[in-house]
Structure 1
Amino acid sequence: MHFLVLYSLKPSSSFLCSLQVGGTMYNTGRHVSLRLDKEHLVNISGGPMTYSHRLEEIRLHFGSEDGQGSEHLLNGQAFSGEVQLIHYNHELYTNYTEAAKSPNGLVIVSIFMKISETSNSFLNRMLNRDTITRITYKNDAYLLSGLNIEEVYPETASFITYEGSMTIPPCFETATWILMNKPIYVTKMQMHSMRLLSQNQPSQIFLSMSDNVRPVQPLNNRCIRTNINFSMQGKDCPNNRAQKLQYRGKFLQSFFRVFWLICIPISHADSRAPRCPPQHKNNKENITRDYILNFI
């Protein structure tokens, strides 16, 4: 049973500063990472955030099969992958390293990846053949420029948020997660190209980077908030209308709306999972991961 209570916040707006960015794409051995250069700062604020947060890194998680690879689930089902935009609180902390281990340190915007015949234009820049083959092995790096941050977001104003932890060691519980309510798309060929990335260096045995997800974690009575109004259904619901996001200092007037508080009394499949286990264990019994999002 889901308990919905109006979360008493005024409708709030958010904005991102800077549209075009550049950075370095890495094979970390654990995931594909795009780390932005310091010339193009991208800040996000509003909604569930008390402070402004600065985009530090974009990480890709993906599976060895199309039906797995995301670190969150929808109705008990995983997506093929998950894009995570990792921001740190630049108002309270001087850098990402300090923020990651500190209260109110991080905001992570998470977007599902889904297989399609066409791909998201931002991901297409990262995953096209000329780019992805430059980072085949651990510690490989490749410079990218002229990326449009607007293009990585799906066209939706709806999201879910909760207070949780990082999904890579040391898994500090300092992150506010924001899960967008629509996926973005990758092609089968692009997904195959990611599965050909190695955890190891060229001199070592090949081991695919795929299935780089954190196993199931206990809910621990956390509450999940959303701006999805469940009392309004169908095409006339304003929260369901896809709206183009506004950038360059313009307010995203529909991105962060009034919240709803959802307390979900559900149990996870396995509450005995370690706090921060190795990420590359391919355990097909892990039916759920961070949280079960059965209410979208």
Structure 2
Amino acid sequence: MLFMESYLCYCSVRLGVLLVAVLRIIINITLSVLFFVHGVHIFDGLIDLLENDSQYKNSNMVRKSIHWVHNSPDNVLVFLQCMCYAHKISALLGIFGAIRLHKWLVIPLALFEFVYFLGITIAHIVLMIMLKKQINLGLLIVLTLVGSFYCLFAGYNCVTCIAMFQVISLVKSPKYRQLYGEDPFHPIPLRRSHGSYDSVQQLHMLGVPDDTDIDEQKRLAKLGLWPSRKPQVISVIPVQTPAVSLKWWQQQALDKDDQLQDSAVLRNWQRGELLKGAAGEAERKNALNRRYAEAQQYGFRYKSRERF
């Protein structure tokens, strides 16, 4: 599995390696110029911090390093310059390897980036331990956060170089060449061939619901060749019962019953009192017609539900 598929801001891993190499060349040229101009005096501030710190001034490694800087400044400068030039050469090899897809030319840059990551992390931890007794808390927090992010960035650059080695190994593999062609910069898209066979064997596979190769589906989706599956449409429309055809006298009974309920004249009368009054006969007929119409409607709805 690849360590990463893209660099910062969705750049490709190949472009990420080129950016890391260019950045490393710029940093090493700057350090080389500083060593030429200031010499070993550039370490005077760090040496003062180490000698005045009670925790590190008696360390055997620290005492040997300070003694080497004071007694052999020329050897220190030669060693540092060699490291800078070696790092620049590895960066150039990484650029050439990323452009021409030679995986073994990326390994030196990955090794130097790993060593640089370890060195910058150890130096940051030691420096923060020494500075915590000499600066205020706010500045210490800011320096810790900035240094931590830079250490993470250095480690990220190292992982980018390793991921480029994995990518080149993948595109140079026989299986990749069999599926996508010999040219990794112009891969052959997977298409269905209709009886014609090219010089490069293509994969006769079409995106169907039975496919389980998730990586292949992602690759086809990026190329726009993965067919969009149409979702199954299930009708959820409720069953609508047709209206019951009523006789005119049944519909009139229902309308009169609604008018009777909403009438402003008869609102103070009870239902039973109206049926016993002078209009009782007509009201009784309307009530019978209304009950008959409601029974017809209920029976029709019940039969329709049984049918469905």
TM-score range, shorter chain: under 0.3
| Greater RCO (Cα-Cα under 8 Å, separation 6 or more) | 1
Larger radius of gyration: 2
Going by fraction, where is strand more abundant, 1 or 2?
Answer: 1
Going by fraction, where is helix more abundant, 1 or 2?
Answer: 2
| TM-score where L is the length of structure 2 | 0.18
